[in-house]
Chains A and B, each alone.
Chain A
Amino acid sequence: MKLLIVEDEAKTAEYLHRGLNEQGYTVDVARTGPDGHALALLHDYDVIVLDVMLPEMDGFAVLRAIRMRKQTPVIMLTARDRIDDRVHGLREGADDYLVKPFSFLELVARLQAVTRRGRAQEPTQLRIGDLEIDLLSRKAYRAGSRLELTAKEFALLALLARREGQILSKTMIAEQVWDMNFDSHTNVVEVAIKRLRAKVDGPHERKLLHTIRGMGYVLEARGDEEAS
């Protein structure tokens, strides 16, 4: 995955560069609007992360200029979350937007959502360690025995399983499972995960559902050194 970040704020550009690099993206950084525009036209990026407030040429202008030649997916970063700003960006051809301060996990999730389009259909059977999930019949098995899950618990497990190995933020989980797209500041997701964990990991030696403090949750079969 090749990615371009157009961001003038040095610290932001730096941590995005590093973080996304570690997520397996090849990252280029442009610090001004014209640089970003030039790079975007020069290379074929899978996605562009574009800040709105840029020196010389603002994000909307860069976006317009890029759109005249290319249809590269663009995620806008904005410090303002006025509705008209969002509408403006989307109308100019942005594929998504994120309001600062955003969480890094959120950005990664959106990047994946934007680049996932057009990929091959997802499998209907998932297997993580000895956890098996059938997305069609909506059944889950651990070490061969059926797990008794409520509909929401299954939706939660399926979400984590589809994003195996990725950290999912509470906000994102709330949005995907319950369609609650606002920061609710509650521990609803924590409680739901706790219950799911009791059912999925409860009696088993090897834990699959992990909490990443301050960030979210991840479902993966970790190596023995971590499990012990």
Chain B
Amino acid sequence: MKASIATRLAVMFAVASLGVFSLVGFALRHVLQRELDRHQLSEVNTRLEYVSMTVNRHGTTEGWKVVRSKLDTLTPSDGSVRYWVLGPDPRFEYGDAPMVLRERLRTQADGPFEIELEGRVMRATVRSIAPKEQRPVVMLVTALDSARFRDTLDAFAGALVALCLAGAALVVLLGHRIAKVGLAPLSSLSQEAQSLSPRDLSQRLRLSPLPRELADLVSSFNGALDRVERAYAQLEGFNADVAHELRTPLANLIGQTQVALAKERTAPQLEEVLLSNLEELERLRAIVNDMLFLARADQGETAPNRVPASAAGEVSKTVEFLEALIEDAGVSVRVDGDAHASFERSLFRRAASNLLLNAVEHSERGAEIVVAIAQQASEVRIAVTNPGEPIPEQHLGRLFDRFYRVDGSRRNSRNNHGLGLSIVKAVAKMHGGTVFVTSTGGRNTVGFTLADVPPITAPHL
């Protein structure tokens, strides 16, 4: 299982805030460092300025004593500020300048520089003081131990890191809490979904108190529930229908056989029972075979033996097959148009035969049934139209359902167990097509389409 959304959000907040804090902290530290540098520099310069006036004023060895004592006074005991005066005449020098400094001053021009002395990093500045009386040119160096500033910077950085981490942690906690609150509608939705019971399939999730983001999800979910409910209702009806269809012949078989065996019968009587049983059994076999066929189509089996053929040719062959029935019913059949496609002929004829039978059954004597075949963009369309009573709207959508009968009675059930049009639908499905039905102006049209599989090169067959 993946981590909860709240946790994920909290972690993402933490990462984001840590990133932002670090960036800000880095920038702050940089600014502070620059300020501290400037500050150090100006302090060094101020001191140098002040001291250089004193040095400048005195040009005698006597006067130099004043300079020494003044510089002594100015030098704090912790050595954080140091002064050196260096020159060619040792009498006019001050402080024990280490070798490193002397070396450095040989090349160092007037101005600020940084140097490490006695293990301390010092910010220093140097100025040449013009000769006066006995004193030659001297170089005045003022140095400031930058440890103080560095310590400040380090303390600041440390505090910054700690604050960043604390801030991120706080964001995690708050983020988690916020996410929880924000996602509250989701958990209430989930509770509501849990309370849906399989016994009442008409239940739906409520849409009204939901934020927009969830409303879409809920309406999709409710749509799925709608479909499940419909499929379930259909399945329930289907089971009842199957049971009914199978129960009738089974009851006949059992009853007749029991009656026959109840007392002694003559051979012709027994033969009669057997013949009747055989009829019932054939009926059962037909239903079972059709149901297996439909089940295979449901499982997604497609027509395996497609060959290029002419739809009109196959329809004509089917009409020829049904000729006797068509004549007996006193109707005529006209085939309009043609299309070439790849399909399994026996399946196609089966579908066409079912459609024609359906049309013949629902036509008055003298009627003309029209089979219109059309080649459309990517499909072949076969529509069988017969004049007849309008089919009420509520039946249209269910006409292809198994065992569905418009009149509700079980008329004609010997030859037609209500699977004819479902088989048409299955055949269409096996060819990537679909079925359609319309009822307008006293003309009923039922038909199917087949996905056209190009290229078709076969001439008219």
Chain A residues engaging chain B, CB cutoff 8 angstroms: 81-83, 101, 103, 152, 174, 178-188, 191-192, 195, 213-215
Given A186-B322, A188-B324, 8 more pairs with CB closer than 8 A: A180-B321, A185-B417, A186-B353, A187-B415, A195-B324, A213-B275, A213-B278, A214-B275
> Can you give 13 A-B contacts (C-beta < 8 A)?
A81-B292, A101-B288, A152-B323, A178-B320, A180-B346, A181-B346, A182-B346, A182-B350, A187-B325, A188-B322, A191-B324, A213-B275, A214-B279
Q: Given contacts A82-B296, A183-B289, is CB(A191)–CB(B325) below 8 Å?
A: yes
B244 in the interface (beta carbon within 8 A): no
In the complex, how many angstroms separate the beta carbon of B433 from the nearest chain A beta carbon? 18
In the complex, how many angstroms separate the beta carbon of B382 from the nearest chain A beta carbon? 17
Chain B residues engaging chain A, CB cutoff 8 angstroms: 275-276, 278-279, 282, 285-286, 288-290, 292, 296, 301, 304, 317-318, 320-325, 328, 346, 349-350, 353, 357, 415-417
Residues of A within 8 A of B322 (CB): 186, 188
Residues of A within 8 A of B353 (CB): 180, 184, 186
In the complex, how many angstroms separate the beta carbon of B366 from the nearest chain A beta carbon? 19
Kindly state the separation between the CA atoms of A178 and B320 in the bound complex, as whole angstroms.
8
Query: Which residue from B278, B296, B416 sits with its C-beta under 8 Å from A214?
Result: B278
Residues of B within 8 A of A186 (CB): 322, 325, 353, 357, 415
Query: Which residue from A152, A183, A188 sits with its C-beta under 8 Å from B286?
Result: A183
Question: Is the pair A178, B317 in contact by a Cβ cutoff of 8 Å?
Answer: yes
Question: Is the pair B286, A185 in contact by a Cβ cutoff of 8 Å?
Answer: yes
Kindly state the separation between the CA atoms of A195 and B328 in the bound complex, as whole angstroms.
11
Residues of B within 8 A of A214 (CB): 275-276, 278-279, 282
B292's nearest neighbour on chain A, judged by CB, is A81
Kindly state the separation between the CA atoms of A215 and B271 in the bound complex, as whole angstroms.
13
Query: Which residue from A83, A103, A192 sits with its C-beta under 8 Å from B304?
Result: A83
Residues of A within 8 A of B328 (CB): 191
Kindly state the separation between the CA atoms of A173 and B328 in the bound complex, as whole angstroms.
20
Residues of B within 8 A of A103 (CB): 282, 285
Query: Which residue from B276, B285, B417 sits with its C-beta under 8 Å from A101?
Result: B285
Question: Is the pair B275, A192 in contact by a Cβ cutoff of 8 Å?
Answer: no
Query: Which residue from B276, B304, B349 sits with its C-beta under 8 Å from A180?
Result: B349
Residues of A within 8 A of B416 (CB): 185
A214's nearest neighbour on chain B, judged by CB, is B278
Residues of A within 8 A of B288 (CB): 101
Residues of A within 8 A of B325 (CB): 186-188, 191
Residues of A within 8 A of B304 (CB): 83
Query: Which residue from B296, B317, B350 sits with its C-beta under 8 Å from A184?
Result: B350
Question: Is the pair A152, B346 in contact by a Cβ cutoff of 8 Å?
Answer: no
Question: Is the pair A174, B321 in contact by a Cβ cutoff of 8 Å?
Answer: yes
Kindly state the separation between the CA atoms of A82 and B299 in the bound complex, as whole angstroms.
11
Question: Is the pair A188, B321 in contact by a Cβ cutoff of 8 Å?
Answer: yes
Kindly state the separation between the CA atoms of A185 and B423 in the bound complex, as whole angstroms.
12
Residues of B within 8 A of A174 (CB): 321
Question: Is the pair B321, A178 in contact by a Cβ cutoff of 8 Å?
Answer: yes
Kindly state the separation between the CA atoms of A178 and B318 in the bound complex, as whole angstroms.
8
In the complex, how many angstroms separate the beta carbon of A197 from the nearest chain B beta carbon? 12
B324's nearest neighbour on chain A, judged by CB, is A191
In the complex, how many angstroms separate the beta carbon of A11 from the nearest chain B beta carbon? 14
Residues of B within 8 A of A179 (CB): 317
B304's nearest neighbour on chain A, judged by CB, is A83
Residues of B within 8 A of A184 (CB): 321, 350, 353
Residues of B within 8 A of A82 (CB): 296, 301
In the complex, how many angstroms separate the beta carbon of B70 from the nearest chain A beta carbon? 111
In the complex, how many angstroms separate the beta carbon of A22 from the nearest chain B beta carbon? 15
A215's nearest neighbour on chain B, judged by CB, is B278
Residues of B within 8 A of A181 (CB): 346
Kindly state the separation between the CA atoms of A186 and B278 in the bound complex, as whole angstroms.
17
Residues of A within 8 A of B286 (CB): 183, 185
In the complex, how many angstroms separate the beta carbon of B10 from the nearest chain A beta carbon? 54
In the complex, how many angstroms separate the beta carbon of A68 from the nearest chain B beta carbon? 29
In the complex, how many angstroms separate the beta carbon of B425 from the nearest chain A beta carbon? 16
B357's nearest neighbour on chain A, judged by CB, is A186
In the complex, how many angstroms separate the beta carbon of B189 from the nearest chain A beta carbon? 43
Residues of B within 8 A of A187 (CB): 325, 415
Q: Given contacts A101-B285, A180-B349, A187-B415, is CB(A192)–CB(B317) below 8 Å?
A: no
**Nearest 8 CB-CB pairings of A with B:** A214-B278, A191-B324, A178-B321, A213-B275, A182-B350, A83-B304, A192-B324, A214-B279
Query: Which residue from B275, B301, B318, B350 sits with its C-beta under 8 Å from A83?
Result: B301
In the complex, how many angstroms separate the beta carbon of A18 from the nearest chain B beta carbon? 14
Interface centre among B318, B321, B353, B415 (most CB of A within 10 A): B321
Residues of A within 8 A of B346 (CB): 180-182
Interface centre among A174, A182, A183, A187 (most CB of B within 10 A): A182
Residues of A within 8 A of B279 (CB): 213-214
In the complex, how many angstroms separate the beta carbon of A58 from the nearest chain B beta carbon? 21
B303's nearest neighbour on chain A, judged by CB, is A83
Residues of A within 8 A of B324 (CB): 188, 191-192, 195
Kindly state the separation between the CA atoms of A202 and B279 in the bound complex, as whole angstroms.
27
Residues of A within 8 A of B349 (CB): 180, 182
B416's nearest neighbour on chain A, judged by CB, is A185
In the complex, how many angstroms separate the beta carbon of A12 from the nearest chain B beta carbon? 14
B305's nearest neighbour on chain A, judged by CB, is A83
Q: Given contacts A191-B325, A214-B278, A215-B278, is CB(A185)–CB(B296) below 8 Å?
A: no
Query: Which residue from A83, A185, A213, A215 sits with its C-beta under 8 Å from B415?
Result: A185
Kindly state the separation between the CA atoms of A101 and B289 in the bound complex, as whole angstroms.
8
In the complex, how many angstroms separate the beta carbon of B267 from the nearest chain A beta carbon? 15
In the complex, how many angstroms separate the beta carbon of B435 from the nearest chain A beta carbon? 18
Kindly state the separation between the CA atoms of A56 and B401 in the bound complex, as whole angstroms.
42
B288's nearest neighbour on chain A, judged by CB, is A101
Residues of A within 8 A of B415 (CB): 185-187
A169's nearest neighbour on chain B, judged by CB, is B282
B345's nearest neighbour on chain A, judged by CB, is A179
Kindly state the separation between the CA atoms of A174 and B317 in the bound complex, as whole angstroms.
12
B274's nearest neighbour on chain A, judged by CB, is A214
In the complex, how many angstroms separate the beta carbon of B61 from the nearest chain A beta carbon? 120
Kindly state the separation between the CA atoms of A83 and B346 in the bound complex, as whole angstroms.
14
Residues of B within 8 A of A83 (CB): 301, 304
Kindly state the separation between the CA atoms of A192 and B328 in the bound complex, as whole angstroms.
11
